[in-house]
Amino acid sequence: MENFHFIRPYWMLAALPLLWLLWRTVRASQRSNQWQRVVDPALLANLVDDNQSPASRQPILLVGVLWLAALIALAGPSWEKQQAPVYRGLSERVLVVDLSLSMNAADVKPSRIARVRQKLSDILDRSGETQTALVVYSAVPYIVSPLTDDVQTIRSMLPSLATNIIPAQGSRTSLALKMAQQLLSSAGSRNGSIWLFTDSPVDSGADSVAESIRSDGYQLSIIGAGTAEGAPIANSSGGFVKDRNGNIVIVKLAASPLRELAATGGGTYTTLTTNDDDIAKLFAYTGNGLPPSIEGIDEDAEQRQTEIWLERGPWILLLLTPLTALIFRRGCL
């Protein structure tokens, strides 16, 4: 019993009202004893309040005992430990979406951005309890949703993802990846992943950010949106974007730089598909496409143990049950 302690000792502060009640009871008893010295016992029975008699104090004492025992139980008495397995938490995932104008190209039907929205919805369907965040970017990155397990909130934002919601156009992938990395780091993630949906060339600085992501223990996987043949970019007036010479701009997907960037970030690369092969590849690579009941269980959990204090408070509450029944006797209160 040398290790005896209370897990929640602050509950013992609730004993202060009990001490005050006992003090009042003792004071009342002392006043009654003083009258017994000077008043005939037969007469005293008619003069002294029944609440000051020994029998009347029994309910108070019973309540006091129950009160104190309940406080001890709530404080969590403990004196021994037991071994418990340690499980790895579900890994976090940050979805990063490129919203530059080139995502309006329709070489992937109905368009690159529309297909990406569909893929995001499919990913959320399979996320289980995985913490998920959403970042969008063009020239500047923005956090649409921080890490959360409420995928329905993220899903409700998907229809609004369009290339016209970000005023400054561009394709600063490095800034978006840095923001995603900071989300994982601030959440204390150890094995998080970043999934980037883009059709843009790799900007300067993206490689160094990818290396930093990998050194932090995270993975950067990339889904290329588009085809090698490319397509024109639809604009808001119903036509297509043109260059300075008046020629229609054809945007093609350059897969090789994106594949190299994913390798630098310790992840994998795939292109958008009409089926689930693309996201299935990412789930298989990151290892968190398992059902919620299995996902996140450490394979070495049997060899990883920790010690927890055994709480004995519930047993005290169980023993209090018969005493509590005495309060409801007729005339007890």
Q: How far is it, in rounded angstroms, from Cα 313 to Cα 70?
A: 9
Calculate the average pLDDT of the chain.
Answer: 81
pLDDT of residue 235: 77
Residue ranges, comma separated, of all CATH 3.40.50.410 domains in the chain are 93-286
Instruction: Indicate the range of 40-49, 189-198, 239-248, 292-301 predicted with least confidence.
Output: 292-301
Going by C-alpha positions, the residue among 128, 88, 256, 119 that lies closest to residue 196 is: 119
Going by C-alpha positions, the residue among 34, 21, 28, 35 that lies closest to residue 54 is: 28
pLDDT in tens, 25-77: 777 666 655 555 555 566 555 555 544 455 555 666 777 788 888 888 888 88
- How many CB atoms are located within 10 Å of the residue 169 CB? 14
Q: Give first-to-last CA distance, the chain, whole Å.
A: 38
Going by C-alpha positions, the residue among 305, 276, 324, 249 that lies closest to residue 120 is: 276
320 vs 228: which has the higher pLDDT: 228
* % of the chain beyond a pLDDT of 90: 40
**C-alpha triplet 194, 195, 196: angle, nearest 5°:** 115
pLDDT in tens, 182-200: 999 998 888 899 999 999 8
Q: How far is it, in rounded angstroms, from Cα 171 to Cα 199?
A: 9
pLDDT of residue 237: 75
The yes-or-no verdict on residue 260 having pLDDT over 50 is yes
pLDDT of residue 46: 57
The listed CATH number (3.40.50.150, 3.40.50.410, 1.10.3130.10, 3.40.50.300) that belongs to domain 93-286: 3.40.50.410
The yes-or-no verdict on residue 297 having pLDDT over 50 is no
pLDDT in tens, 91-112: 799 999 999 999 999 999 999 9
Instruction: Indicate the range of 67-71, 133-137, 161-165, 184-188 predicted with least confidence.
Output: 67-71
β-strand pairing of 193-198 with 93-98: parallel
Per-residue b or e along 72-84, where b marks 16 or more CB atoms closer than 10 Å to that residue's CB: bbbbbbbeeeeee
